[in-house]
Amino acid sequence: MASTIGWELYRTFLGVLKEGSLSGAARALGITQPTAGRHVVALEQALGVPLFTRSQLGLMPTEAALALRGHAEAMESMAASLERVASSQGDGVRGAVRISASEVIGVEVLPPILARLRRQHPQLQIELMLSNRVQDLLQREADIAVRMLAPKQEQLVARRIGQIELGLHAHQDYLARQGTPQTLAELATHSVIGYDQSTAFIRGLAKSLQGFTRDSFALRADSDLAQLALIRSGAGLGICQVALARRDPALHRLLRGQFSLQLETWVTMHEDLRNSPRCRVTFDALVEGLQQHVAVTG
């Protein structure tokens, strides 16, 4: 096995994994298809194992390719982190910062915070990654993350923001049609909006969500944004942030005394970035903006 393998070979390897073909990888990476093919062959020869087999569906990864994927993605994250660090060199606050946040936080809460931050630091570039998956800050998948659970890794700098309250809400049009439930038991006669696939986060809330199971949901979606849109459209009743519901007078909170969830909210980043101007000002801006959001909930 070759002791030195260029990153561009792994980059193309990941491109083929993601796109399923040499042509798709070439388009995504801005290279030619023959070059993509040479990269894959060179990597196979260097590693001494086949990585793809041809089928009617395109290039199918071998077991070796699937085993390598996580390592190659870690290399990709580190390469992107190196580029962000390089872009930040120079005087003042400049360069790219990659922020990870959940869908709802990223779409409903962060935009005005980031807009204000960009006005203050116009040479700052923001990469906003929306996912309910917890990004690995140690592998530099992101520089800063907004999380709904306390970080456990010692290498992370963390600031507790407070608790974001979730409540049960419905649009006034739905309530006009279906009536307002007075007890949790009455939810069985209503169109309840909830998840489709259980996640670690949902399983962690299982005790607080007694009675809220997949089979009890009339409308199911794993996207929190889709659930929020369904609530706002009057399709049914569901769970959303109290602070977000207060923005819309047509949304009404239900069973306030019987249903309330509290989400611990944290802003975290790798300790190696605490002295980076671009990360420090972004971290502080997120803390300040999210504290204001949490205060609205209280």
What is d(CA 222, CA 102) in angstroms, rounded to the nearest whole number?
Answer: 12
What pLDDT is recorded for position 207?
Answer: 65
According to the model, what pLDDT value does residue 292 have?
A: 92
Tell me, what's the pLDDT at 156? 83
Indicate the domain borders of the chain.
Answer: 7-79, 86-160+264-297, 163-263
Contact between 209 and 202 under an 8 Å Cβ cutoff? The reply is: yes
d(CA 254, CA 168): 5
Q: Torsions phi, psi of 145, nearest 5?
A: -130, 140
Q: Which fold has domain 163-263?
A: D-Maltodextrin-Binding Protein; domain 2 (3.40.190)
Q: What separation, in Å, do the N-terminal and C-terminal C-alpha atoms of the chain show?
A: 60
Instruction: Please list the pLDDT of the chain residue by residue as tens digits (298 residues).
Output: 455 788 889 899 999 998 888 999 999 999 999 999 999 999 999 998 999 988 777 788 999 999 989 888 888 877 777 777 776 666 678 888 989 999 999 999 999 999 999 999 999 999 999 886 665 666 678 889 998 877 777 778 889 999 999 999 999 999 999 999 999 889 999 999 998 887 666 666 666 666 677 888 999 998 999 999 999 999 999 999 999 999 999 999 999 988 998 889 999 988 888 888 888 999 999 999 999 998 875 5
| pLDDT given for residue 137 in this prediction | 66
Alpha-carbon span 241 to 294, nearest angstrom: 10
In CATH terms, 7-79 corresponds, of 3.50.50.60, 1.10.10.10, 1.10.357.10, 3.40.630.10, to: 1.10.10.10
Task: Please report the pLDDT score of residue 203 as a whole number.
Answer: 66
**Which residues, including other chains, have CB under 8 Å from residue 190's CB and lie 6 or more apart?**
178, 181, 218, 236, 237
Element (H, E) at 202: helix 200-204
DSSP for 85-151 reads: HHHT-SSSS-EEEEEEE-HHIIIIIHHHHHHHHHHH-TTEEEEEEE-SS---TTTTS-SEEEESS--
- For β-strands 95-101 and 219-220, DSSP reports them as unpaired
Longest dimension (CA), the chain: 70
Task: Give the pair of three-digit tokens for residue 78.
Answer: 């580190």
| pLDDT for the residue 239 | 93
Same fold, 7-79 and 86-160+264-297: no
State which fold the 86-160+264-297 domain adopts: D-Maltodextrin-Binding Protein; domain 2 (3.40.190)
* pLDDT for res 250: 97
**Residue pair 157/274 in contact by the 8 Å Cβ criterion:** yes
